[in-house]
A and B are shown apart, each in its own frame.
Chain A
């Protein structure tokens, strides 16, 4: 079976500085894969490379076997990959309902249609309502997204990401800045909503990482130093030295 995401010797340079060096990563279909690493290791850059936000200087990225390096974000999204952002990135003036509905439209095949009434698309309406219920924001559907609380915005961020039904979901620090209770709720949400899909997640909270991930990759200075099951990573000396060791002290 082809890997959901396959990254082969990818390099990203900004000027003379290599942010990502010889990056190799393989995420199997249906796997929950966490990327961890110290601040500035290049986790978000890796996300940006995969999702097309920036282009790799060298190397190849494949999504479900198809080369996607160099494609624009919307082209990659249409091929079934959807990502969230570390800093909340919603449509601030539009209502919660509109936010989610916009994310549903392309995947429902309505594209740039200007001859259909958007309120008269039953499947779009049902899917939007379903997602709002899933992310517990049904009661806030008419509130402009910019006026939501922080935790609600994070949930909306996840909602927008999964709304299109992409089979590869990438979440960039979905629980950052959340309280313990909010984090627990968010993890349960992520687990449920990504059922049967491939998940790549960047996360700082180790309890989230070890509770959620099937496999973990450790990124240090733009290079993956280890990749394996949570147990393997826990027992890996290099990882303990470079990363987990610091946390343990």
Chain B
């Protein structure tokens, strides 16, 4: 046969793939190194540190949700327990002058997350679906409430504090300044992301996908889906623990908020918004959610409401998340038919933006007018000051919402039509199945 003939271009294609693959990781590493040099303010350093932690946490969550099809409502348990173990380890190292430098502490957190996953995972992963989701919720509540009762371990409501600079220094770094903590986090982000990506490329990683798609059939190709889910749960717990350990280092405290339902909800939120079908999805989600969290809490009291709206919007209109939306365009780019949809996007952007501003103005007006009058009634939106007590503001909000929606709906239909045409072209050119 013509194997020799077909092999040559295939090998070439593969080599290009390998090159591109390492290129992406190299660029990511460079970006992590350069980022604080470009944005060197204290605020952005703090943000970058939090984003790094959130990335590891969200990726660990996606081992469950995206890779293995396990919807957990209690993933923060492993994050939190990792954080607590890390804090205790740091205090023990400082108290007994042990020769363990700070950069190794996240590993202790990982072991904490893993240990608890090994402990509860076997029973939890017996079934997937609703049963698993409910048990994870129960375990989450159980641990969160225990953390308030077992004061000696969890320090009650105030938590347990530590001093990261009291540990042995490494390369002359005390890890007091935020920039050093940032690089420590960045280092672990790289290690963890590479490890978690590598995991998806192993026999176990592939079988996790198979269990996600069809656990019944997996049993007939020799695998026990229970064992597969258990192993995945262990890995997810381990990397969540690393994230928790980094959080403990970053904040120099671990408290019950680390392992509560809010934290578990946020990671689900981040992974889902980012897109669980792609490895990089949760990374995008973690970045966005952390920024939203940091940004929104400063400018509005009802920031959770916006989270909710975004979440509902993604679930309903873009179940693939941001990554799904981006990757939808890949076949169009390859088929060079992307230009067919861009104009419709631009046309749709204006009324959609008006709708969004109208919704924001309505929410803020209601919030200021009813709930928190003490804050003052002036809403600053795109540089315009609106007074929440003036009927004119209400009218503007109503016009923006109703008018924006009516016009936007027409433009969205245009987008759908343009998309169909572009997709047909891509299909004809063989880039879309």
Contacts and interface: CB of A to CB of B under 8 A. Distances in A.
Contact of A160 (B199, B221, B231): B221
A73 B201 contact: no
A110 interface: yes
Interface string A74-87: 10011000110100
Interface stretch (A17-25, A98-106, A208-216): A98-106
A114 B206 contact: no
B220 A98 contact: no
Interface stretch (A27-35, A88-96, A175-183): A88-96
The size bracket of the interface on B is: 20 to 34
Nearest to B219: A73
A114 B199 contact: yes
A51 interface: yes
A241 interface: no
Given A74-B222, A74-B223, A114 B216 contact: no
A108 to B, nearest CB: 9
A206 interface: no
Nearest to A119: B201
Contact of A89 (B198, B199, B206, B217): B217
Instruction: Tell me which of A74, A85, A107, A147 has the highest count of chain B C-beta atoms within 10 A of its own C-beta.
Output: A74
Contacts, number: 102
A63 interface: no
B209 A93 contact: yes
A111 B220 contact: no
A107 to B, nearest CB: 7
A160 B210 CA distance: 12
Contact of A106 (B201, B223, B231): B223
B222 A116 contact: no
B155 to A, nearest CB: 35
Nearest to A93: B213
Nearest to B214: A91
Contacts of A93: 209, 212-213, 277
Contacts of A92: 213-214
B210 A73 contact: no
Interface string A132-145: 00000000000110
Contacts of A110: 203
Contacts of A163: 221
B121 interface: no
B378 interface: no
Nearest to A148: B433
B97 interface: no
A98 B221 CA distance: 13
A103 B221 contact: yes
A173 to B, nearest CB: 16
Interface string A53-84: 00000000000000000001110011000110
Give the top 7 A-B pairs by smallest Cβ distance, nearest first.
A106-B222, A73-B219, A91-B213, A114-B204, A110-B203, A103-B221, A113-B203
12 contacts: A72-B224, A78-B222, A89-B216, A91-B213, A93-B209, A102-B206, A105-B207, A105-B221, A112-B227, A114-B231, A116-B203, A164-B221
Interface of A: 51-52, 72-74, 77-78, 82-83, 85, 89-94, 98, 101-103, 105-107, 110-119, 121, 143-144, 147, 160-161, 163-164
Given A98-B210, A102-B218, A164-B221, 17 more contacts: A73-B219, A74-B218, A74-B224, A82-B220, A91-B210, A91-B214, A92-B213, A93-B209, A93-B213, A93-B277, A102-B210, A106-B222, A111-B203, A115-B202, A116-B202, A118-B201, A161-B220
